[in-house]
Amino acid sequence: MQYVLLFLENAEERAKRTDPVAAEPYWGAWNAYMGAMAQAGVMKSGNGLQPPETGTTLRIANGTRHVVDGPFADTKEALGGYVVLEVADLDAALEWAARAPCAAAGSVEVRPVMGPAAD
């Protein structure tokens, strides 16, 4: 079964990406984690994401497009990346989620991936 792990980080964690002192251990932890999933053969795909302020939000109201720079929601945690796993069950997905570097200072949302629509 496929699950997506959505990695949510707070601003302090995201700042480590470019901090001269914290960047090496930050990226080292993520590289080790991704490498472990790849080596176990459970990772199907995934990517890190640019910071929330680089995003664009689109909404349609009354048939009119409204485009806003940046994220729409003002939250303490923002989506930092995702991975699609193929594992036996939710328990296995949760085991991988618990190993994510952001699990202690942010969170990991685990969701089943919808299969193709029935004809």
Residue 36 lies in a domain: yes
Q: pLDDT tens digits for 30-81?
A: 999 999 999 999 999 999 998 888 888 888 999 999 888 876 666 778 899 9
pLDDT tens-digit series, residues 3-34? 999 999 998 999 999 999 999 999 999 999 99
Q: Would 117 be classed as within a structural domain?
A: no
CATH number for the domain including 85? Answer: 3.30.70.1060
Place of tokens 């302090």: 12
Task: Give every CB contact of residue 39 below 8 A, 6+ residues apart in sequence.
Answer: none
pLDDT in tens, 106-116: 999 999 999 77
Position 118 in a domain: no
Which domain does 72 fall in, by range? 2-112
What is the number of other CB atoms lying within 10 angstroms of the CB of residue 20?
6
In the chain, how many domains are there? 1
In whole angstroms, what is the distance from residue 108 CA to residue 79 CA?
Answer: 9
